[in-house]
Chains A and B, each alone.
Chain A
Amino acid sequence: MKARKVILALVLAASLMFAFTSCTCKPGDIEEENITQPNAMSTPSAISSQSDIAKPAAVTAGVIMVGNQVVDIGDKIYPIYFDFDKSELRSDSRNTLSELAQWMKNNPSVNLRVDGNCDERGSNEYNLALGETRADSARKYLVYLGVSPDRLETMSYGEEKPSCSESSEDCWSKNRRDDFTITSK
C-alpha cells in the first residue's frame, strides 16, 4: 500500500510539473498539452507578449482590427529604438513607423503621444533634450507618411523612465526608445 501511495504521489507530482513547467517538457509533449485553440481576442495578445525588439511586426499589436472593428487589447504599441546619443531613425524603426502610419490611417479617430527616452549614460538634462528630438523624429516621419500633425503629441522623459535598469548594453539599447501612447480613440 505504502509503495503504491508513493508511486501515486510521484505520478501526481510529475503530472503537476508537466502542467506548470511546460518549458522543461519535451517538444512533443507541449504540442499535445499546451496549445489550445485561441479565440480572436487572445491571438494577437499572445503574439504581442513576445517583446522581441527585432520584430517590427509587433508594432500595433495593442489594438487589432477584427472584421471592421477596432479591438482594444491593452493600448499597447511597441516602441522604436535608437543608437547611442542619436536621434536619427534606424531602418527597422522606419518600417515600424510605416505600419503605425497605415494603422493610424485605418483608425482615424486615434491620437497618439510619442515619448522620447534615453539610456542612463550622460547628462540627465541633455538627455531630456535628446528625448525631445527622438520623439520629434518619429512625429516628423509619421507626418511625412501622411498622418495629420494634429493627431500627434510628443514628450520627453530623458533618462527618467527606463524600461530596464541594469548597466549593460543590452539594457541600455532597450531604454533608447520612443514609446507610443494612445491619448484618444
Chain B
Amino acid sequence: MKNKVHSLPNSTFKIVALMLFVIWATTGLPALVDARVYLELDSPNLRRIPLAVAPLQPLCGCRTDEKTALIGRKILIDDLEFSTFFEILDDPSNYLEKPKSCNLAQGSFDFRNWSLIGAELLIKAGYSLSGEKLVIEFRLYDTLASKMIVGKRYRGRAKNIRLLFHKFTNQVVESVTGLPGEFSSKIAFCGRLNNEPAQELYTCDYDGHERKQVTRNKSINISPAWSTDANKLVFTSYRRDNPDLYLIDFMKGKETKLTNRKGINAAAAWSADNRHLTLMQRYENHSEITIINAASGDTILRVTKSSANQASPCWSPDNREIAFVSDRNGTPQIYITTAQGGRWRRLTKQGVYNADPDWSAHNDKVVFTSRIEGIFQICTIKPDGTNHKQLTYARRNCETPCWSPNGRHIIFTEKINGIEQLMVMDDKGRNLKQLTFDKLKKKSPNWSANR
C-alpha cells in the first residue's frame, strides 16, 4: 500500500513495549507483556466493551479542518460499531473532557474523565491536512489500566482518507480480539441498471462506500471472485458469445482471458495459495466441477463425473475438499467431495433446494441458501452436517451468501422494493444491515481480504 505506517513511541521503554505488542499481535501468541484478555470470542454472551472516541483534533501546529475531523470520527465509530465488539459512547456532549489540546499523548489528559463516564477504551486521533497530504495519528487507550494499547501514524493522500481510518480500526479490533478487523476489505458484485441487457462488475468498500465500476464491456458479466490476496479478480463474461473466464490483475492493471472452453466457465473460486481455481465447466453437455491452473487456465482435473448438473464449487479451508451443488438425486443439494475427486458425501438433508455454498476459511461453517416455505433464506451448517441453522427470516428472497475474510460476517443480496440490495449480518444472523439503497440491481457479492 502507498500509505506508510509508523508506530508512535516516545520513550525507549515504550518502543520495546510496542515492539513486543506488535510481535504478539502479528503472531497471535499469548500476550507476555499484558495478560489482560479484552474479549473472550468463544463466550456465548459476548460483552460489548464501552469505548469513547474523542473528537478529532488538528495535530500541534496544524490548522483545523472540520470536514476531516467529522468524516474521520464517523468512520471510526461506524467501523467499530459494525464489528459488534464495542458499545460506542459516541455523544461528545456526555464527555467530561473538553479537549482543546493538540497533544494526544499519555500524560496530557486525565484517564478519570473517561473511566467516570463508563468508557473502558478510548480512541484519540489527530490529523494534519496540507493540500493532498493527510497525516493521521491514532492512539487506543485502556482507561482503567491508564495505558496506551496501540498507537499508529498513517500518511497518505486526502482522497484515501477512508482507507487510512479503516487501517487503524483494523488495529483496534486486532488489539482486542487477536484477529484484525475487516474494514479495509472490498466487495465485488454484479450490477444491472433498470432492465438493460448489460450487467457490469463493480467494487466497493466493506461499508458500501467508494463504489467503482470495474468492467465496461456492455455484455453480461457474472460471478466475480477475489484472489485471497485481494489483488486479482476472476469473473465470467459473455462478451465473445460464450461464457468465458477472465482475470483482472489490479496490480498490473491488466485483464486476460483464462479459459474459453465451449460452454460455461463460471463460478470460479481461488485456492488458498491462489495457484488453482475450481469452477463449473461443460463436459458431455452438462456442468461439472473442475480445477484449472489460475495462471494459464489449463485444466488440471475434472473433479466430478456425473450425468447430473454440478454448480458453485468452493474449497474447504485446508483445500483438501470441495463443496458444490448437484442435482444428482433430483433436487439441488450441497455435496462435499475430495479435491482429487472420487469419494463424495451429501451435506444438506433438509429441504428440496439448497445452493450457493461458501465455506469459511476461518470458522468451520458452510453458509448457503435454502428454499424454505417458498422463499430463499440464508443458513449455515457444519461440514459434518450438524448444527443446521436458519439465519434469515426474510419475506423476499435472500441469495448468494459470502463470508467476510474472518468469517465474522456474511454478505448476501435481498430483493427490497423490487431491487436486489447488498445486505450484511454477523455469523449468527444478528446485526442485519442494508449496505446499498440505489437503483442498481446487485448480484453475487464476493468479499475480499484486507488490503
Contacts and interface: CB of A to CB of B under 8 A. Distances in A.
Interface of A: 85, 121-126, 128-130, 132-133, 136, 139, 154-158, 160-162, 165, 167
A132 B286 contact: yes
B397 A155 contact: no
Contacts of B173: none
B220 A157 contact: yes
Main secondary structure of the interface of A (DSSP, over half): mixed
A134 B400 CA distance: 22
Nearest to B331: A85
A154 B310 CA distance: 17
B162 to A, nearest CB: 30
A89 B443 CA distance: 29
Contact of B220 (A125, A126, A161): A161
B285 A139 contact: yes
Contacts of A158: 222
Contacts of A130: 309
A154 B287 CA distance: 12
A156 B243 contact: yes
A1 B404 CA distance: 80
B341 interface: no
A122 B355 contact: yes
B285 to A, nearest CB: 4
Given A136-B286, A156-B263, A126 B242 contact: no
Interface of B: 195, 197, 199, 220, 222-223, 238, 241-243, 263-264, 266-267, 280, 282, 285-287, 309-312, 325, 327, 331-332, 353, 355-356, 369, 371, 376, 397, 399-400, 415, 418, 443-444
A165 B418 CA distance: 10
B241 to A, nearest CB: 8
17 contacts: A122-B371, A123-B400, A124-B400, A125-B312, A126-B309, A126-B311, A126-B327, A126-B355, A128-B264, A129-B280, A129-B311, A130-B309, A133-B286, A133-B309, A154-B285, A160-B220, A161-B220
A152 to B, nearest CB: 11
B309 A123 contact: no
Main secondary structure of the interface of B (DSSP, over half): strand
Given A124-B400, A125-B311, A161 B197 contact: yes
Contact of B356 (A121, A125, A161): A125
A123 B332 contact: yes
A180 to B, nearest CB: 15
A124 B223 contact: yes
Contacts of B280: 125, 128-129
Contacts of B286: 129, 132-133, 136
Contacts of B369: 123
A99 B242 CA distance: 27
B353 A160 contact: no
Q: Counting chain A CB atoms within 10 Å of each CB, which of B242, B267, B309, B418 scores highest?
A: B309
A128 B243 contact: yes
A72 to B, nearest CB: 20
Contact of B332 (A124, A126, A136): A126
A128 B267 contact: yes
Nearest to B194: A165
B243 to A, nearest CB: 7
Contact of A129 (B309, B331, B443): B309
Contacts of A162: 195
Given A155-B242, A165-B195, A124 B222 contact: yes
Given A125-B266, A126-B312, A155-B263, 7 more contacts: A126-B355, A128-B222, A128-B267, A132-B309, A156-B263, A158-B222, A162-B195
A123 B195 contact: no
Closest 8 A/B residue pairs (Cβ): A123-B355, A129-B287, A129-B309, A125-B267, A136-B285, A125-B312, A126-B311, A129-B311
Contacts of A122: 332, 353, 355, 371, 376
Nearest to A155: B242
Q: Counting chain B CB atoms within 10 Å of each CB, which of A128, A130, A139 scores highest?
A: A128
A154 B356 CA distance: 24
Contacts of B238: 157, 160
Contacts of B331: 85
